Amino acid sequence: MEMQVELVRWLEDADRDDVPTLGGKNASLGEMIQRLGAKGIAVPEGFATTADAYRRFVEANGLAEVVRHHIDELHDGRRVHEVGPRIREAFEAATMPDDLAEAVRTTYAGLSERVGRDDVDVAVRSSATAEDLPDASFAGQQASFLNVSGADEVVAAVQRCFASLFTDRAIIYREEQGFGHLEIALSAGVQRMVRSDLAGAGVAFTIDTETGFDQVLVIDGAWGLGESVVAGEVDPDTYVVFKPLLTDTTLRPIVTKQRGAKEVKIVYDEAGQGTISLSTSAEERSSFVLDDDEILTLARWCVTIEDHYGVPMDIEWAKDGHTGELFIVQARPETVQSRADAGVLSTYRLTESGEPLVDGLAIGDAIASGPVVRLESAADGHRFTDGGVLVTGMTDPDWVPIMKRAAAIVTDHGGRTAHAAIVSRELGVPALVGTSDATRVLREGEVVTVSCAEGDRGYVYPGVLTFERDEVDLSSLPTTRTRIMMNLASPAAAFRWWRLPAQGIGLARIEFIINSHVGVHPLALTRYDEVDDLEARRRIDKLTAGYADRTDYFVNRLARGVARIAASRYPDPVIVRMSDFKTNEYADLLGGRTFEPEEDNPMIGFRGASRYYSEHYRDGFALECRAMKKAREEIGLTNIKLMIPFVRTVWEADRVLEVMAENGLARGEAGLEIYMMAEVPSNITMAEEFAQRFDGFSIGSNDLTQLELGIDRDSGRLAELFDERNEAVTRRIVELLDKAHRHDTPVGICGQGPSDHPEFAAFLVRHGIDSMSLNPDSIATVIPRIAEVERELDATR
């Protein structure tokens, strides 16, 4: 008697052990319905054809020989775009066996009855039987058919899924991976369609897909069916959620909420079955697909799924436009970042030399080659070629999208604290700044090598020079008593450095977040009616569209930018410096010229603490305080500590602390610690008085050197005299350490010196610095030196 062959199976009767029978996609759906439904995760009901059903179809139509014949042609040199279509044509021309067709029709009728709708509309998706294994991800290689209804149409869609096992890309992939083409079977999943064409859908990853940072999950969403997001056809909304705080339902740990353009959406074709693409409305483009409650619900589901499977997951979700319900429609293991080497840092060394074309200050320690692309304006970004060497006068936040695509960056102007230097460090892109003549000397299109691996100075050489890249095992770095922290400004780059053995962030600059993520002068929002620039008003209106109160735009953007940085090191401390723009820099913000005075020397003008209690800026500072309170108490990143820059007098310190308390940021409440920058000589003269008011000091060696030596730190002519290792400066630092430690007040440093000069770092350790905040690219080289000095000190005691 012939053994009964199972041709279809309800998804609720499947689990993860059924990959050989139902493929990874359908087995995973069954697993979630069975095991996670009780935990509140909604998965649309459905059924799937089995691997035996596929084999029955192949055998009944003699298709195995067809496949062998055409694959032999492929091996004999015929191209895949000739072989693939012939195999697919044979599959689509074949006849579905009666028992299989009847099984699909009967089960589809049962699904329609369950849903309570005649000829329920379904999605018919392919699931290869080796799909989504950790070492064999076949996802996306086979076809899916949406908005299918009617028994005959479902049977036809199942057959087209069978044929799609031989798409050109699937054939190529199996050839490359060594999989036999007849060893793989295909299961067609038939699942009730979620009417996300009337709402939205997208994908979620339970790991940061760019850096592998595993404490966040990333959700993308767009209007309409999720295929637009999966296929990369649309610029979606992006939401990033910090996973460790999701268990506290009183918190809202959304650390990024970025609105995408969402210019198109895929919807049902009302004229028949299938789908069509439509342009979205202006309202849809300016609105978020998910609200905060939905983002958090989806995030908690994703964490539950990840916990269940025990690995980072790639998940597809959909929202039903009729009911407003969220559904998970697919989940599979993430197979890129979760397998990356987490403990390696790269170092570079040239193995041949050349005559440099230009030189400048070296930022980073990498080497890169590429063709020169000279741009005068960020508006010319369309001319930039990925992997080119960006050559320009100077950069600002508008350049960041171009900088991300560059192999290296070279500027005429700027120092180590310039925008190009700070951003390139965080992007891990080598840069030369302050070359003075790169735009004149370097020719468009010529191939050059940019080396930042030769010390303080970097060089641009003609041609492609060879170099060695070494891998540093971060786990082999010694531990130190001195707390090693990082300087960080850009939320976009925060996750890049999560693997570094830092114990927090010693300096997170609010002004960089305001510049790149907010873009509007805070007073242009609190005093909008005073903005007399009509174009600025128009741009402000566009940025703040959807906010009932314009100031909420500033608060939300700043809070989430800071929270993203804080999340990257949680629970280690992250010291966030309140804004330290100079008046000329504030004036460059949108709407800023209405509110900023012109100063002959902004570097020692209306900046830092003096602004916070002044009636000229007090309401702007209140927005900064609201943002910090939101980041700490609503989002939940209580590892955020605040720091006040450029405090000139003790009286001024008291005034600022009063204003902060009035805005809900009282020192000591909710565990809040407040630090101050030690960068004005008076800070050191009066260090004992300041120590009674603040929880710690952070030495700003750039400003301290500037004010101690009377040198404009931005002056090119005086650059050779500007040196934080000057004895006048180092004596001041020793004085501060002695006074602060008498009051048990910790002292750190967040200036450039320790990153650039190992001997300066050694000096600080010998005199008892409590923490050292370094640029990310210098941590691996400075830590061993600090450990060595600590050992030397121990030996002499």
Percent of the chain with pLDDT over 90: 69
Q: What are the pLDDT digits (tens) for 9-63?
A: 999 999 999 999 999 889 999 999 999 999 999 999 999 999 999 999 999 999 9
Q: What is the rounded average pLDDT of the residues 704-718?
A: 87
DSSP string, 587-600: HTSBTGGGT----S
| 222: confidence class by pLDDT, cuts 50, 70, 90 | very high
pLDDT-wise least confident of 232-236, 304-308, 491-495, 575-579: 232-236
- Does residue 232 carry a pLDDT above 60? no
In whole numbers, what is the pLDDT of the chain averaged over residues? 90
pLDDT for 2: 46
pLDDT for 490: 80
Percent of the chain with pLDDT over 70: 94
| 274: confidence class by pLDDT, cuts 50, 70, 90 | confident
Q: State how far the alpha carbon of 787 is from the alpha carbons of 102, 259, 484, 485, in Å.
A: 74, 45, 11, 15
Q: Residue written as tokens 């299989």?
A: 100
pLDDT for 134: 42
- Does residue 690 carry a pLDDT above 60? yes
Q: What are the pLDDT digits (tens) for 539-583?
A: 999 999 888 999 999 999 999 999 999 999 999 999 999 999 889
- Does residue 265 carry a pLDDT above 50? yes
pLDDT for 378: 82
Q: What is the rounded average pLDDT of the residues 704-730?
A: 88
DSSP string, 510-547: HHHHIIIII-B-THHHHTGGG---HHHHHHHHHHTTT-
- What pTM, to 2 d.p., does this model score? 0.82
Catalytic residue ranges: 419, 750
Q: What's the rounded Cα separation, in Å, for the pair 49 and 25?
A: 12
- Does residue 419 carry a pLDDT above 70? no
| 170: confidence class by pLDDT, cuts 50, 70, 90 | confident
Render the burial of 314-346: b for 16+ CB within 10 Å, e for the rest.
bbbbbbbbeeeebbbbbbbbbbebbeeeeeebe
- Does residue 417 carry a pLDDT above 50? no
Residue 338's nearest CA partner among 214, 497, 471 is 214
CB 225 within 8 A of CB 266: yes
Q: What are the pLDDT digits (tens) for 285-294?
A: 989 999 999 9
Q: What is the dihedral of CA 610, 616, 617, 622, to 10 degrees?
A: 110
Q: What is the rounded average pLDDT of the residues 426-446?
A: 89
Could you tell me the sign of the dihedral formed by the alpha carbons of 195, 198, 202, 204, in that order?
negative
Q: What are the pLDDT digits (tens) for 322-345?
A: 999 999 999 988 876 666 666 776
